[in-house]
Amino acid sequence: MERSILTVKQSKKKRKIVFLTGTRADFGKIKPLVSTLIKSKLFYVHLFVTGMHVATQYGYTVDEIIKSGFPNIYQFDNNAESSRQDLILANTLIGFSSYIKLIKPDMILVHGDRIEAFAGAIVGAVNNTLVSHIEGGELSGSIDDNIRHSISKMAHMHFVANVEAKRRLIQMGEEEKTIFVIGSPDLDIMNSEDLPTLEETKARYDIDFDTYSLLMFHPVTTELSSLKQKTKILVDSIHESQLNYVVIYPNNDPGTDLISGILRSTLSNKKLYKFFPSIRFEHFLTLIKNAQFVVGNSSAGVREAPFYGIPTIDIGSRQNNRVNNKYFKSIFHCDFDKEEISKHIKRFSTKRFRFKQNKHFGTGKSAEEFLKVLKTTGFWSTETQKQFKDLVF
């Protein structure tokens, strides 16, 4: 469908866009988009910051958002007394509903599969406010899929990483004209020549390793009964390797405290391990880019690491449906088997492995493509009453 270009300067009003961010990971995805819109001076840009960002145990990363120099930052603490996701969802719904009633945005923009994004999509959908979803149509291997697909069904517009994601959304009944392939926005930052040097990152975070690997392990909420056993298998394999590791604590899902406790108690040698609740995204990318390997079950191991050609030892079911050897030669999947994990660790620690750069999730021009779409007249005439598009067999 052809879409004529009409800049906001030519339109009757300057549109207001709200980005919702709840984690260090999704902020890394939306940051290039926020920056581009602000630089364009065509939109009023607001950020609703909640979740892990405003929790001290996860590094209070709202400070990093403020340091980015973005305007109109609104902080909301949605954290419940427990890590129960239903309570966090309820809190976010109440807080975000009050917020959009106050500022009356033209569009709400959410990313991925977190519970905060789900709340944002619900609030927008039931209040007839345009919702755009970044990186829908993807598969992982856990309840994240259910949340991600639910967000997509609430959203009116979709900005996806590749044609596979677009095809899945069409399969889910989304209209093709509402789906735009722009790639994964974090690749815009990864592709930048302005990332900090390794020396700058090491100095900032007091990391004195000559060589190191990254350990990131998150709970799978549908497998909590076996989480303790699985965590111990992974951590014992790490401990026995006697290598240097930068360890980033898990996200705020149920089971996080258990994992963090085992990490701290087993990996207590400060000469081998450096622990962080979070790391600023640009520095995080520098650490990935220069690591020997990434180990655990983080999406960074199947998204960011392959872009740099860094080996990933992906463990367990969390990323099952994202690990496809047809596209990813640098990802090595294994179950919670200590012998198998140790074999992979030994292989990638004996010499420096680098694989061919993987561009399955984009080429680093997402923000540019995103702005092009938002400058079209057809985009803003999208109906908030969605229609299910049947497949023709």
Q: Where are the domains of the chain?
A: 8-191+363-380, 198-350
SS3 state at 6? coil
Query: Hey, what are 163's tokens?
Result: 């044609």
Q: Would the CATH topology of 8-191+363-380 be identical to that of 198-350?
A: yes
Q: Is 170 exposed, middle or buried (0-12, 13-18, 19+ CB in 10 A)?
A: middle
User: pLDDT, tens digit, for every residue of 30-66?
Assistant: 999 999 999 999 999 999 999 999 998 888 899 989 9
SS3 state at 246? strand
Tell which residue, 17, 23, 20, has the closest CA to residue 37: 17
**DSSP string computed for 82-119:** S--HHHHHHHHHHHHHHHHHHH--SEEEEETT-HHHHH
pTM: 0.85
* pLDDT of res. 321: 76
Q: DSSP class of residue 243? A: -
Q: For residues 254 and 332, what is the distance between their CA atoms, to the nearest angstrom?
A: 26
Q: For residues 371 and 356, what is the distance between their CA atoms, to the nearest angstrom?
A: 30
User: pLDDT, tens digit, for every residue of 344-390?
Assistant: 999 999 888 899 887 778 888 999 999 999 999 889 999 999 999 99
Question: With bands split at pLDDT 50, 70 and 90, how would you rate the model's confidence at 11?
Answer: very low
* pLDDT of res. 221: 85
Superfamily name with CATH number, domain 8-191+363-380: Glycogen Phosphorylase B; (3.40.50.2000)
* pLDDT of res. 326: 65
Give the up-direction half-sphere exposure of residue 31: CA atoms within 13 A in the CB hemisphere: 24
DSSP β-bridge partners for residue 16? 44
282-295 b/e with 16+ CB inside 10 Å = b?
bbbbbbbbbbbbbb
Chain mean position to CA 135: 9
Domain 198-350 is in which class?
Answer: alpha beta
* pLDDT of res. 285: 95
The amino acid that residue 37 corresponds to is L
Q: For residues 311 and 300, what is the distance between their CA atoms, to the nearest angstrom?
A: 11
User: pLDDT, tens digit, for every residue of 147-176?
Assistant: 999 999 999 999 999 999 999 999 999 999
